[in-house]
Amino acid sequence: MSELMKDYIDDAEKVLLHTYNRYQVVLEKGDGVYLEDIDGKKYLDFCSGIGVFALGYNVKAYNDALKAQIDKITHTSNYYYNIPAINAAKKLTKFAKMDRVFFTNSGAEAVEGAIKAAVKYAYNKNGAGDYEIIAMDHSFHGRTCGALAITGKQAYREPFAPLLGEFKFAEFNNLESVKALITDKTCAIIMETLQGEGGIYPASKEFIEGVNAICKEKDIVLILDEIQCGMGRTGANYAWHNYDVQPDIMTTAKAVGGGVPVGAFLLTEKVAQNSLVAGDHGTTYGGNPLAGAAIDKTMDLFEELKVTDNVKEVGAYLYEKLEELASERDDIVDRRGLGLMQGLEFNKPVGDIIAKAIDNGLILINAGANIIRFLPPLVITKKDVDDMLVILKQCL
């Protein structure tokens, strides 16, 4: 590590709130699927900013679109219409197969809005009541109080209890455990279509379609959290498109803005017309012209670059290569995931492996103490997979 990098890290530790145990590297720029630190060292990126940079780095068409919008206007507030947000809304609702959208600044804010919409839907239908929401064990929905309340990890919730609302936790991929928790007060069921932080667990077809059927029968709002697993990462536009289901509300963020901090929750027309109205919800920055331009251009590039086709092809190759690696090693106990959201589960902590990978020019992240998570840009090639495996095997 250079003295310059050390100085920056020392400065950061003096002024930033220590809520992250950061890796000892200061990243400065990126190009394609590579990042570069301030010393000029390059890193093959299989994290993509935790699933944000789906199109990779330094994409000229994307950069130009944002620069052009900056020269016009970046903020107006939601008291007025703006063209980029309108264009983004038209494209995103079509891409997601939903009817209405509310733009936010982050995934956690999208979850907060989804919770409010679900409760307001029940309120309009039945009046005031102590409504309950069923979430899943080992889920992750965000760090704000409402999102944290439905995050199925006790260690995350406990220091901040009591949290808002009445929430129950079912076992993911166990339909009977969901049925056992449903009461007359149940207004919503929320789940990640593919659990990320919880260990890269896809919903089984029987489970998610079973939950969908229950929700439709009992008029319970089904909320699917696609913040990490959506936007083409599984090879479909959104992961729930792989199943025969229809969420009432869906959350999205991360890759939807191509790198700019944006999020959204989307609703069916039925829920939209019977939940939030003027004065119920708002945001100062959500859906601003810069964010709208980012989403708009991201939507265009997904189509132009045929991103989901690439995910299907390269995702299958990554799956095959990780399966081969798992079969060769006794310390790898499982491989899970879909498309370009994959995980390798080890019989030991993986922190040292990830640290060694960074030293050797490869960025990986974990999903729990013993799982390496692979979330590369969706434009990677088979050669990038091969290059990643060379480094990973050295670190193992």
* Same-domain status, 300 and 310: no
Reported as a single tens digit per residue, the pLDDT across 92-117 is 999 999 999 999 999 999 999 999 99
Q: Are 28 and 5 in contact (CB under 8 A)?
A: no
* Same-domain status, 275 and 345: no
298: left (phi over 0), alpha (psi -120 to 50) or beta: alpha
* Same-domain status, 181 and 329: no
* Same-domain status, 316 and 384: yes
Provide the strand spans (E) within 213-315.
Answer: 221-225, 249-252, 263-267
Structural domains of the chain, count: 2
Whether pLDDT at 183 is above 80:
yes
Whether pLDDT at 155 is above 80:
no
Q: At 43, which CATH number?
A: 3.90.1150.10
Tokens, residue 362: 């490869």
Task: For residues 293-303, give the mean pLDDT.
Answer: 98
Q: What is the crossing angle of helices 307-328 and 289-304, to 10°?
A: 70
* Same-domain status, 291 and 148: yes
Whether pLDDT at 129 is above 90:
no
Domain finish residue from 304, 329, 344? 304
* Same-domain status, 195 and 283: yes
Work out the number of other CB atoms within 10 angstroms of the CB of residue 34.
Answer: 18
Whether pLDDT at 164 is above 70:
no
pLDDT band, very low/low/confident/very high, at 1 (cuts 50, 70, 90): confident
Task: For residues 153-168, give the mean pLDDT.
Answer: 69
pLDDT band, very low/low/confident/very high, at 157 (cuts 50, 70, 90): low
Question: Which residues on adjacent β-strands are paired with residue 258?
Answer: 260
Provide the strand spans (E) within the chain.
Answer: 27-31, 34-37, 42-45, 100-104, 132-136, 166-170, 186-192, 194-195, 201-202, 221-225, 249-252, 263-267, 332-338, 341-346, 362-363, 365-366, 371-374
Helices (H), 158-204: 175-179
Work out the number of other CB atoms within 10 angstroms of the CB of residue 263.
Answer: 27
* pLDDT confidence of residue 162: 54
* pLDDT confidence of residue 392: 98
Average predicted confidence (pLDDT) for the chain: 95
How far is it, in rounded angstroms, from Cα 272 to Cα 282?
15
* Same-domain status, 207 and 285: yes
Q: At 188, which CATH number?
A: 3.40.640.10
Whether pLDDT at 148 is above 80:
no
Residue 258 DSSP code? B
* pLDDT confidence of residue 350: 97
How far is it, in rounded angstroms, from Cα 41 to Cα 34?
10
Domain that includes residue 237, residue range: 62-304
Domain finish residue from 284, 304, 324? 304
Burial of residue 284 (number of CB atoms within 10 Å: 0-12, 13-18, 19+): exposed
Task: For residues 271-282, give the mean pLDDT.
Answer: 94
Reported as a single tens digit per residue, the pLDDT across 341-360 is 999 999 999 999 999 999 99
Rounded to whole angstroms, what are the CA distances from 251 to 104, 114, 206, 281? 10, 7, 22, 16
* pTM above threshold 0.75: yes
